[in-house]
Homo-oligomer: A and B are copies of this chain.
Amino acid sequence: MSYISFRIKLSAFSALCAISAAGYAQTDVYEQWRESWMKTYEETMPELKVEIKKPVAAVKGVKDDAAFQGWRMEKAMSIEEFYNAPFNGNSGIVIDFGEHMTGEFTFNLRQGWKTPDAPIKLKFTFGEVPSEVCTPFDPFPGGSLARAWLQDETVTVSTVGEPVTIPRRVAFRYVKIELIGHSYDFHFADMQCAATTSASGEPARLPESASEIVRDINRVSLNTLKECMQTVYEDGPKRDRRLWIGDLYLEALANMYSFKNHELTKHCLYMMAALAAPDGMLYSTAFERPKAHPQYETQIADYSLLYNVALLDYTLASKDIETARDLWPVVQNQIKYAQRYVGDDFIYDRQRDRGLWIFFDWTPGLNTDIAIQGAMIFSLKKSAELAKLVGDNDSAAQWIELAAKMREAARQKYYDEKEGVFFAGPEKQLSHISQIWMILSDVVTPKEGAKALKKVLADKNAVYPGTPYANHYLVEAMIKCGMNKEAKKFLVDYWGGMVKKGADTFWEVYDPNDDFRSPYNFFPINSYCHAWSCTPVYFINKYPEIFQK
């Protein structure tokens, strides 16, 4: 079989079927596929749309205990007034661009009364939310996260009258400007952001029947998704600016029900495929620059399994069966890899191979034994569906059989029929996450699921979701159990809570009871435009009968 023939996707698929019994990772053939996937990744690089955005007002932060994180913005002057006044007296002012944007910030100065005869030093602090430009960054309490994520940039302007672009992409609505060094009066003459996104197309408008809060949630959700859609699905345009499989899965769902930019999903699927480890297991996150590369330290069991689901959803939405065929080895590898952890009792045991990172949520102390069992069953079933689509009926049959055995094992080991809930570990931990994944994987019937969910939701001692990411799966599980009213109420309360607190885009972290919650010990370093919070647009548009009425 020649090298050339492998680059033809259909041939690659046939070849795969022929050699899959012998194992297709760590072979020359597999390396050639990875090269081919990298080529497709490069060929599908999206073009960014650039829109020049101008500021709308000069504002100042006002301490207000009733406002989100204690700060609200009050108008200080119009932009015309700001440009007309010498800047020297306005050091510390905040410029409001009126909406969240992601891109390059450019400004220009013009001289005042005297000929400028020295450089000017200015400090710009970009913030997605008011508190970011009102809270001192130093001494930096943010522990393990890099201080460098904070978007403060000090710039030396050598020539008044020559536009200066800050050499860093920024994500912001507000920018505070402070004067560090000067020797004469000067004015700001212009400010703009060359805002980028790869989102295009007009998402469907909600009908009149949708409530105002649902419309608002839909709008903020769309903005969040748009801002995260760059040359990949980023997890956050401020932080961490990279592709994660978990976010890819959720963003692709939201995209399916809004911009329908399936090419970006395809691009991201190919990126992760091309960068997989030599043994075929996907890395969970990847960087685009200086050239595409994974984070070699990061493999997450549940993300690996979700890749297959994302590929199925992409295939169904785009009708692009060729991509599924081309990436078929990746699907097989993820199942194969996960199978190593499944014991003779058909229980997923993370200790079987080596301690693997299982994520699901940031909640401290969360026992994920049940969730990973559920996620594997979920992935097996979705992968089998995809197997049928690409014509690999042997795999489909095997995986359906395995899923059934794992379902049975899960019920036996984890389900407390009397209580109607799943308990994890010797400590019998009751968590939302465990119930959610037993529901999504059909380990319980909708009726059983509804009972479990209601019980866990009512139990104040239950381990509850800590992220919008986990809350996405909670809403999905509610809908699957027919808890439509509860799903709508939860969506309106949770995401609507952010809207009511002034969110332009949905936040990485949201605890309705604690505005300052941060996994990083410093709330200004939280991302306030985060992919995994963008899924209301998916729910609202996929289930109009639930959310649009």
Contacts and interface: CB of A to CB of B under 8 A. Distances in A.
A286 to B, nearest CB: 10
Given A117-B295, A140-B181, A168-B156, A290 B161 contact: yes
Copies in the complex: 2
Given A159-B289, A159-B290, A290-B161, A183 B118 contact: no
A147 B181 contact: yes
Contact of A146 (B119, B140, B161, B167): B119
A149 B119 contact: yes
Contacts of A239: 118
A457 interface: no
Given A115-B297, A294-B115, A297-B115, A148 B121 contact: yes
A42 interface: no
A351 interface: no
B150 A115 contact: no
A47 interface: no
A240 interface: yes
A549 interface: no
A509 B146 CA distance: 42
Contacts of A160: 290
A117 B240 contact: yes
A149 B290 contact: no
Interface residues of A, number: 47
B118 A145 contact: yes
A295 B156 contact: no
Contacts of A147: 121, 180-182
Given A114-B297, A180-B148, A290 B162 contact: yes
Contact of A145 (B183, B241, B294): B183
Nearest to A150: B181
Interface string A155-196: 111111110100111000000000011110000000000000
A62 to B, nearest CB: 28
A117 B298 CA distance: 11
Given A120-B148, A148-B119, A168 B158 contact: yes
A146 B159 contact: no
A115 B164 CA distance: 31
Contacts of A157: 148
Contact of A148 (B153, B162, B182, B285): B182
A543 interface: no
Interface in A284-312: 285, 287, 289-290, 293-297
Nearest to A108: B290
A146 B290 contact: no
A149 B118 contact: yes
A154 interface: yes
A242 B115 CA distance: 13
Contacts of A120: 146, 148
B293 A115 contact: yes
A2 interface: no
| Those 8 A-B pairs whose CB atoms lie nearest each other, nearest first | A147-B181, A118-B146, A148-B181, A121-B148, A146-B183, A119-B148, A161-B290, A159-B289
27 contacts: A114-B297, A115-B296, A116-B287, A117-B240, A117-B287, A117-B295, A118-B145, A118-B146, A118-B239, A119-B148, A119-B149, A119-B168, A121-B146, A145-B183, A146-B181, A146-B183, A147-B180, A147-B181, A148-B157, A148-B181, A153-B156, A155-B167, A158-B168, A158-B241, A159-B290, A161-B290, A162-B289
Interface of A: 114-121, 140, 144-150, 153-162, 164, 167-169, 180-183, 239-242, 285, 287, 289-290, 293-297
Given A115-B293, A115-B296, A140-B181, 13 more contacts: A117-B295, A118-B146, A121-B146, A146-B181, A146-B183, A147-B182, A148-B181, A148-B182, A149-B181, A156-B167, A158-B168, A158-B241, A161-B290
